[in-house]
C-alpha cells in the first residue's frame, strides 16, 4: 500500500486521479453522498490533519493496514491536510499532499470500504480560498510545500488534487436497522440554515455548491455551533438518528452535542476513533462508552 514514490510526479498524479475516479464510480456513491447498509462495521474518525501515527492506528482498526487476516471494516476519513505548523516570519512548507495522495490511493484500492468526506481545508485548497491556522496561511504553506518538491510542474499536481477533492462526497449515510447514521465533516451553522439547501444529500453537487459563504457544500463543511433545535430539524428532514462529525476542536477527543451529535478529533495526542456495529446502531451514550483513545 505504501510503495508509492511521493516525490515522483507521475505516481502522485496517477494516485490522485485514481482516487477521484473511485469516488465517482464506487457502487456506494449515491449523488452527493456515499451509502452503506448493515451488516458490517464502521470505524468513524474526526479530523486527522496529517497525523501519521494516528492515521496508522485507524487503518489498523479498520483492517486496512495490510496485515494478513485482519477483518476489513468501513472507514471514514476527512480533514486530511494542513497539520499544525510553527508560526514564523517565513512561510513554512507543508507537504501534506503526501497524506492526501496516500488516502486517494487507499480509496482506489478499497472503493467500497474507504469513505473520504469533503472537509473545509481540502475544499479551501481546491478552490484557493484562504485559511489561517495558528497564525499560518495554510493554503499558501501547502502550495509552497508542493512547489518545493515539484517546482515548475506543481500546477499538474494541484490540478490532480483539485480533481480528487471535488470528487469527494459530502457525507456517508449508514442505513441501520435501528436508525440511520450520518457521518460528515460538519453541518451548516444555525445562522446559515436559511441559505442552505437541505436537499443536497439527495442530488449531485454542482459548481455553485462550492462557492464560499453561499454554496451549500461550502456552508456544510464550514459550520459550527450546532444547537438542539437545528439538530432536531435536520433529524426530521433527513431521517437521521445520529450525526458523527468533526471540524470543531474537542480537547478530550470527542464532544457530545445534544440531542444526537458527536464531534470527533483524531488529530492530536488525545485523538479518538469510534467503532460501530451497523447491525446495532448505537445511541450517543453507547458511542461514548465505545470510544477508543488512540494513545491510551
The CATH number for 21's domain is: 3.60.21
Q: At 242, is the secondary structure helix, strand, or coil?
A: strand
- What value does the mean pLDDT take over residues 6-29? 98
pLDDT interval class at 135 (50, 70, 90): confident
In-domain check, residue 220: no
In-domain check, residue 216: no
Query: What residue has cell string 441559505?
Result: 195
In-domain check, residue 227: no
Question: How many separate domains does the chain show?
Answer: 1
Q: Which pLDDT tens digit goes with each residue over 171-209?
A: 999 999 989 999 999 999 999 999 999 999 999 999 999
pLDDT at 87 over 60: yes
In-domain check, residue 192: no
In-domain check, residue 200: no
In-domain check, residue 202: no
Report which secondary-structure segment, H or E, holds 132. Answer: strand 132-133
Confirm if 160 and 130 have CB atoms less than 8 A apart. no
In-domain check, residue 253: no
Q: Which long-range contacts (CB under 8 A, 24 or more apart) does 103-107 make?
A: 103/19, 103/77, 104/15, 104/16, 104/18, 104/19, 104/20, 104/164, 105/1, 105/4, 105/15, 105/18, 105/19, 106/1, 106/19, 106/59, 106/64, 107/19, 107/22, 107/23
pLDDT at 282 over 90: no
pLDDT interval class at 220 (50, 70, 90): very high
Task: Tell me which residue range forms the domain holding 178.
Answer: 9-182+266-293
In-domain check, residue 257: no
Amino acid at each position: 500500500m505504501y510503495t508509492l514514490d511521493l516525490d515522483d510526479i507521475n505516481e502522485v498524479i496517477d494516485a490522485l486521479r485514481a482516487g477521484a475516479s473511485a469516488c465517482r464510480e464506487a457502487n456506494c456513491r449515491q449523488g452527493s453522498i456515499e451509502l452503506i447498509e448493515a451488516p458490517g462495521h464502521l470505524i468513524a474518525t474526526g479530523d486527522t490533519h496529517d497525523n501519521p501515527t494516528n492515521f496508522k492506528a485507524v487503518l489498523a482498526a479498520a483492517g486496512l493496514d495490510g496485515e494478513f487476516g485482519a477483518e476489513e471494516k468501513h472507514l471514514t476519513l476527512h480533514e486530511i491536510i494542513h497539520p499544525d505548523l510553527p508560526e514564523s516570519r517565513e512561510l513554512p512548507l507543508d507537504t501534506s499532499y503526501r497524506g492526501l495522495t496516500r488516502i486517494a490511493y487507499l480509496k482506489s484500492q478499497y472503493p467500497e470500504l474507504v469513505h473520504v468526506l469533503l472537509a473545509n481545508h481540502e475544499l479551501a485548497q481546491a478552490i484557493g480560498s484562504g485559511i489561517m491556522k495558528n497564525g499560518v496561511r495554510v493554503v499558501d504553506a501547502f502550495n509552497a510545500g508542493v512547489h518545493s518538491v515539484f517546482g515548475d510542474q506543481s500546477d499538474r499536481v494541484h490540478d490532480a488534487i483539485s480533481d480528487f477533492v471535488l470528487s469527494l462526497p459530502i457525507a456517508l449515510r449508514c442505513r441501520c436497522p435501528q436508525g440511520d447514521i450520518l457521518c460528515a465533516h460538519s453541518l451548516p451553522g444555525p445562522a446559515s440554515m436559511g441559505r442552505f439547501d437541505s436537499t443536497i444529500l439527495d442530488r449531485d453537487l454542482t459548481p455553485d455548491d462550492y462557492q464560499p459563504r453561499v454554496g451549500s457544500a461550502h456552508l456544510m463543511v464550514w459550520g459550527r455551533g450546532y444547537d438542539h433545535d437545528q439538530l432536531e430539524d435536520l433529524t426530521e428532514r433527513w431521517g437521521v438518528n445520529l450525526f458523527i462529525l468533526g471540524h470543531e476542536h474537542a480537547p478530550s477527543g470527542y464532544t457530545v452535542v445534544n440531542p444526537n451529535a458527536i464531534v470527533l478529533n483524531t488529530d492530536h495526542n488525545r485523538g479518538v476513533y469510534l467503532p460501530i456495529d451497523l447491525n446495532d446502531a448505537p445511541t450517543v451514550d453507547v458511542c461514548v462508552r465505545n470510544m477508543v483513545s488512540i494513545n491510551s
